[in-house]
Structure 1
Amino acid sequence: MTVLDPRDIALGTMYFGTRIDEARAFELLDRFVLRGGRWLDTANNYAFWLDPSGLGGASESVIGSWLRANPGLRDRVRISTKVGAAPTVPGDWPGSMEGLGATAVRTAFEGSLERLGTDHVDLLWAHVEDREIDLEEQVSVFGSLAAEGKAMRLGASNHAGWRVERARSMALTVGVEPFTAVQLRHSYLQPSPFVPLPDRGHVVATPEALDHVLSTDLRLWVYNVLLGGAYADQARLQDAYRHPSSERRLAALDRVAAMLGATRNQVVLSWLLGSPQSPTPIVGVSTLEQLDEMMDARQLQLDEEARGILEEVVESDDVHDAGSGGSHGALS
């Protein structure tokens, strides 16, 4: 079984081959490995919405090209990819989304292995839920890929906790490898409950989901941790995050960042890495400077005072939410 280091940060490669050309992607990958990075996170649908073809696969193809250009590096990096959410017809998504049927999963995954130029991945995710396909069929096909040595570990991305547990119980019953990781959207700032996010398919890590991870052997991966650059540029903050709690949390971040001589991004990453669930944050960057900022966050240790400042706001919000029915007010 592949072991995750508690202070691992995965390099998000969503825009490799589209927004980030191959030459720049190679520079980022080279620097990431030089800085001790190990995990590369991709998906077979990245980034179909930007690719002229209308289909995914560009990110995996760039990683495959980089691995071929650097013999021996495959043994030094770990690859995480996802299947189930790619369109099968250009311009028709989610209408033609491949889903998690057995044939679709096998076809999609074989395409991923070919693009990546490898015979296995270290972590294979079911990218999104598919409630039109019998769950036992999904469990069986992912379990068979693990049994064949093509997927070292299995994970469920953007799934409800109860579905994950039902799948894990089913896997044990039929004797196949279960999901041992979950991937959810999570950061220090939290969206208002029940306010729709513009990012279709994203599932936020609720307190219940975080407790679920703590009470099981599941490993947590988290994405959108830097809110698309909103910590550095507040104008990018989505409407769902524009509420009084965010103002309080940003003020706490600024206080801690000033104390430690760090950036907001670094404080958020260190806070995540030191949280009880020890999640693996997935962080996408487009410049070497951003990559260095990300990797430097692994060495930033929040002392008791710093973490206390951040957690005091979180606990205060929890008390406020409990007394107000769980809703945040809007910023004036």
Structure 2
Amino acid sequence: MSRIGNSDLDVLPLSLGGNVFGWTADRDTSFAVLDAFHAGGGDFIDTADAYSAWVPGNSGGESETLIGEWLASRRPENVVVATKVSQHPQFQGLSAANVRAAAEASLKRLGVDTIDLYYAHFDDESVPLEETVAAFGDLVKDGLVRYTAVSNYTGPRIREWIGYAQAAGSALPVAVQPHYNLVHRNEVEEGVVPVAEEFGLGLVPYSALASGFLTGKYRSTDATGQSSPRAQGAAKYATAQGLKIIDALEGIGKAHGVSIASTALAWLRAQPTVVAPIASASRVDQVGGLLDSARVDLTADEIGELTRLSEWNPDQG
């Protein structure tokens, strides 16, 4: 089990991404994925109020609604649910009034009394940060939220947030959700990890499999004939360096009897301050491989090899 920052939330070191629920996974599939994840020991679910407003016919909140229906139907014990605010079409930004209204709407959709972990989804520089920090602190004080967190914030802005919270005696964030994986490292390792280490924040990285590239499924930069945005996003990583990373992941994974994706997630889990990578599943048969990542321990040499191969080198293309 892993503890999320300075909170009392202990979770299996893998978070199930809810972005696909109501998008590439319908209600029955979403329930089946959640059932398989929980049956396999998973207890940390990540979503956002905006999921999945980008789908034609959706308006936002579909993922939270499905998770809420699953929670009501199954009544699982000790499940931690994280959600986010700022991107829902009806609740844009991080003004105090919007943060409160969005949290209340998320609580209703999830069917819970308290949100375990509540993220500011994207920084909103149109609102004074002090106002946003106070709004999040009030949610904790009023019992609507247990712990606060930030997503897609730079190191300096996280430090600024913490400064305002400390000055006001308000709730401090316990987690950061950055874009972080084997082929997207520098921004996080140089700017966010040092702040997380200083203040005891836990990283919960999203895009942990690089749009599916780190599953080994996409091995060409030519996305011709690939209609899905996921395939288009993955193809850009299929450089010479990227393919060396995939080959190494495949070899190391075979030594442990796990998949390329499991190995990529295990590397990420081993990085400083990382609590639980986020990975999603649109099919039940994908869940087992994700869960494997939370239990396989790579050797120091294996971690070192992957770290070396994935270091950014502008000459490698």
Distance 1:309 1:87 in 2: 43
- Name the count of aligned residue pairs: 298
Give 1:150-299 correspondences, 5 Å limit.
Answer: 150-190=144-184, 205-231=188-214, 232-234=216-218, 235=220, 236=231, 238=234, 240-299=236-295
Corresponding residue of 2:4: none
Distance 1:33 1:238 in 2: 28
Distance 1:257 1:63 in 2: 31
TM-score of the aligned structures, taking structure 2 as reference length: 0.87
Q: 1:51 to 1:147 in 2, by over 3 A?
A: farther
Shift of residue 254, structure 1, vs aligned partner = 2.5
Contact 1:244 1:328 in 2 (8 A): no
Shift of residue 329, structure 1, vs aligned partner = 4.6
Contact 1:154 1:179 in 2 (8 A): yes
1:106-142 Cα offsets, whole Å, 9 max, x none, are 1111100000011111100000010000111101100
- Identity rate, percent: 29
Structure 2 gap ranges (5+)? 1-6, 221-230
Shift of residue 159, structure 1, vs aligned partner = 0.8
The answer to whether structure 1 residue 3 and structure 2 residue 9 are counterparts is yes
Shift of residue 296, structure 1, vs aligned partner = 1.6
SS in 1 for 2:107: helix
Shift of residue 328, structure 1, vs aligned partner = 4.7
Corresponding residue of 1:91: none
Contact 1:184 1:222 in 2 (8 A): yes
Where relative contact order (Cα < 8 A, 6+ residues apart) is larger, the structure is: 2
1:289-323 Cα offsets, whole Å, 9 max, x none, are 11011112222111233223223324xx36xx4xx
Contact 1:19 1:50 in 2 (8 A): no
Give 1:1-332 correspondences, 5 Å limit.
Answer: 1-5=7-11, 7-53=12-58, 55-71=59-75, 73=76, 75-88=77-90, 98-190=92-184, 205-231=188-214, 232-234=216-218, 235=220, 236=231, 238=234, 240-314=236-310, 317=311, 321=313, 327-330=314-317
Contact 1:18 1:51 in 2 (8 A): no
Contact 1:266 1:294 in 2 (8 A): yes
Shift of residue 178, structure 1, vs aligned partner = 1.8
SS in 1 for 2:81: strand
1:253-304 Cα offsets, whole Å, 9 max, x none, are 2331233232110111111112222331111001111101111222211123
Contact 1:127 1:157 in 2 (8 A): yes
Distance 1:249 1:119 in 2: 44
Using the TM superposition, name which of 222-231 and 37-46 deviates more.
222-231
Aligned-pair RMSD on alpha carbons?
Answer: 2.0
Structure 1 gap ranges (5+)? 89-96, 194-203, 322-326
Shift of residue 171, structure 1, vs aligned partner = 0.7
Counterpart amino acid of 2:305?
Answer: I
Q: 1:68 to 1:51 in 2, by over 3 A?
A: farther
Using the TM superposition, name which of 282-291 and 225-234 deviates more.
225-234
Distance 2:89 2:276 in 1: 27
TM-score of the aligned structures, taking structure 1 as reference length: 0.84
